[in-house]
Structure 1
Amino acid sequence: MKKMEVTIRPESLEKLKDILAKNGVHGMTVYSAMGAGNQNSDISKILELSGGQFHVNLLPKIAVITYIEDERVEKLISEIVDELSTGNVGDGKIAVVPLETIVRIRTGESGSKAL
């Protein structure tokens, strides 16, 4: 089992949800995030507020976490890259990490049964 963390542009969320659903992945956690990567110097702005000046270099992002079987990883990565890549800096990242165990709290099921 793997934990897949996908950080994307907000406008890509519906496409990502479609890709996951098409591949039988229905459980996910979605949250708003702010981030900067290679475009860091391109988005730097000075924001003036009542407390003073602030250097802002973060863009809005969406972070999605899901848990998947090992055999789904490569296909999902390939489809996500194919569908969500704009060719521009800031498209996002996919991180896949091994998952030692997972337990469904409601039933106590563990392992792939809990997915």
Structure 2
Amino acid sequence: MVQQRRSGGAMTVAEAGRMGGRLVREKYGPEFYERIGKKGGSSTAERYGPEFFGRIGRKGGKAVTAKYGPQHFEKIGRKGGQKVADLIERAKSLEEAEKVAPEVRRTGEPAA
């Protein structure tokens, strides 16, 4: 979606929205978005019930399956599983390093 500048240098609606979003982010920080997101989720759950999220999740899942095929979920599932396995392996390595040289890890220098 390409938007051309209007004559006179005025901003497009998209540019104005982006600029406003940046200013809000700078003023209030990421916690603000987290807070209003939680409020919105709570309000939606109150209004439509918690099963609403299940319905829209299934609807979104069907749309993704239609667009990318069922193998897409297999692929991202394997990717996520591999990431978890890598993190576990990294944690084990760090634990082993701590057992071997605890003083070096804490102080950054070998024990005297």
- Ranked by relative contact order (alpha carbons within 8 Å, sequence separation 6 or more), the top structure is 1
Structure with greater strand share of residues? 1
| TM-score higher than 0.5 | no
TM-score grouping bracket, smaller chain normalisation = under 0.3
Query: Is the helix fraction higher in 1 or 2?
Result: 2
**Normalising by the residue count of structure 2, what TM-score does the alignment of the two structures yield?**
0.16
Bigger radius of gyration? 2
